[in-house]
Amino acid sequence: MKRFGFAESCCTTPSAMWFWCASFAAFFGITLLLGRAWPELQQYGDTMLLGSLAAACFVNFGRNRTLHCGLTGPLFLMGAVVALLIDAGIWPVDSDVLWGVVLIGVALAFFIEWRTVGRRGSHA
């Protein structure tokens, strides 16, 4: 049985991953600075994290057209809205449920990308 390397088993490229990581670090760094400037924002940590993940996915999708970022960007954005409602005390949902749904959604996005793009051998 043939062993597949990373480039053959995943649909994204290392450069696209590094671009996403750099984008996420920049966006999350900005939210951390905002939290230091306005201490009231620090209670919205999950919202800022999910918002940063969404922004990084949207930027990465715009540049590299990775399918999973096209799927997870809106997921993270919806998660940020739900986290905002939870953190503000408007919607009494356990944040563990939110993170469970987000993790399942991310796994599904990578699975969908692997099944559709990865099987054809084309890389984003």
Residue 3 scores a pLDDT above 50? no
Q: Where are the domains of the chain?
A: 12-120
Structure tokens at 113: 């990308």
For the whole prediction, is pTM greater than 0.75? yes
Residue 7 scores a pLDDT above 70? no
Residue 95 CB partners (closer than 8 Å, separation 6+): 46, 83, 86
Q: What is the pLDDT of residue 120?
A: 55
For helices 45-64 and 67-87, angle between their N-to-C axes, nearest 10 degrees = 160
pLDDT digits (tens, 9 = 90+) for 75-124: 999 999 999 999 999 999 999 999 999 999 999 998 998 888 765 555 54
Distance CA 124, CA 109 (A): 14
Percent of the chain with pLDDT over 70: 85
Q: What is the pLDDT of residue 13?
A: 82
Residue 12 scores a pLDDT above 70? yes
